């Protein structure tokens, strides 16, 4: 059985308790929700282990991990947070690696609203622009870098609607509460095409690379399931799924 939980408040996360030998509790960056759910099915079938995931912003997970949350593996939305945890002695040495390189997209749920070069930003005819919290979510930080590069920071600052994480930023747009927003390409992309609405796939040169690192945390250092998951993420089945959602490897 695959059990996937939504991000809960810290107390609820603590209530997960200790994992059994055949379970691995994973903190997953919100942008990677769909890929890890697809990977989890194959992972269980191929290894017999069960993946239990919580989703949220990388910065929030850092705080929860430092406060003793029972995660065994951390799939971050950046490379700096896992490295920081490693430097602070909270991870299994040598386990950190880049499992995906993310892509940022400007997206609207409306067909034809966002042009292929993102000129809709400069036209400035929208009322709301959704982004993830740049202090907690690397995709939100990347969005602010794109706006700064285009000289639009001051122009759009009063129109920004800030989500707690990239999932919430996506929800603002998908529900129509914001006409457009910066999201992870993986949220709107599958098998080579944008699945709904209209989007501008932001060139990687317009922001810092979104290198997403995975690491085994101290609570998972003796877990066979944690080790199996990390190795599985490096394998061909996981790689094919990750690439199908628009990530680079």
Domains of the chain (ranges plus CATH)? Answer: 23-101+210-245 (3.40.190.10), 104-201 (3.40.190.10)
Q: Does the annotation flag 4 for ligand binding?
A: no
Q: Does the annotation flag 58 for ligand binding?
A: yes
Adjacency order of strands within the sheet including 180-184: 160-163, 129-132, 180-184, 104-108, 198-201
Positive or negative: CA dihedral 161, 152, 186, 52: negative
103, 248 Cβ separation under 8 angstroms = yes
DSSP readout, 97-130?
EEEEEE-EEEEESSTTSS-TT-THHHHT--S-EE
Beta bridge partners of 25: 52
Q: How many CB atoms lie within 10 A of CB 145?
A: 17
215, 96 Cβ separation under 8 angstroms = yes
Going residue by residue through the chain, which has 249 residues, state the pLDDT in tens, using 9 for 90 and above.
Answer: 334 444 443 333 333 333 444 899 999 999 999 999 999 999 999 999 999 999 999 999 999 999 999 999 999 999 999 999 999 999 999 999 999 999 999 999 999 999 999 999 999 999 999 999 999 899 999 999 999 999 999 999 999 999 999 999 999 999 999 999 999 999 999 999 999 999 999 999 999 999 999 999 999 999 999 999 999 999 999 999 999 999 998
pLDDT for 4: 41
**HSE toward the beta carbon, residue 69, CA cutoff 13 A:** 23
Instruction: Compute the distance between CA of residue 27 and CA of residue 58 in angstroms, rounded to an integer.
Output: 9
Ramachandran area for residue 192 (φ above 0: left; ψ -120 to 50: alpha; else beta): left
pLDDT for 17: 37
pLDDT for 6: 42
């Amino acid at each position: 059985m695959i059990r996937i939980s939504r991000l809960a408040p810290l107390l609820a996360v603590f209530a997960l308790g200790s994992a059994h030998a055949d379970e691995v509790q994973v903190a997953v960056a919100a942008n990677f929700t769909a890929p890890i759910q697809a990977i989890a099915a194959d992972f269980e079938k191929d290894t017999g282990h069960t993946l239990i995931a919580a989703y949220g912003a990388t910065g929030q997970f850092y705080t929860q991990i430092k406060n003793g949350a029972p995660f065994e593996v951390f799939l971050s939305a950046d490379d700096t947070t896992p490295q920081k945890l490693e430097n602070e002695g909270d991870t299994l040495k040598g386990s950190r690696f880049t499992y995906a390189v993310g892509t940022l997209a400007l997206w609207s749920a409306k067909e034809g609203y966002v042009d292929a070069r993102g000129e809709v930003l400069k036209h400035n005819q929208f009322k709301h622009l959704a982004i993830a919290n740049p202090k907690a979510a690397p995709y939100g930080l990347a969005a602010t870098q794109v706006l700064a590069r285009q000289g639009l920071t001051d122009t759009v600052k009063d129109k920004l609607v800030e989500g707690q994480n990239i999932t919430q930023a996506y929800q603002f747009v998908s529900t129509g509460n914001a006409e457009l927003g910066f999201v992870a390409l993986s949220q709107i992309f599958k098998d080579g095409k944008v699945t709904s609405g209209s989007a501008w796939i932001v060139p990687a040169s317009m922001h810092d690379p979104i290198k997403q690192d995975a690491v085994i945390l101290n609570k998972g250092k003796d877990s066979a399931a944690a080790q199996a998951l990390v190795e599985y993420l490096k394998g061909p089945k996981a790689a094919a799924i990750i690439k199908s959602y628009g990530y680079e490897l």
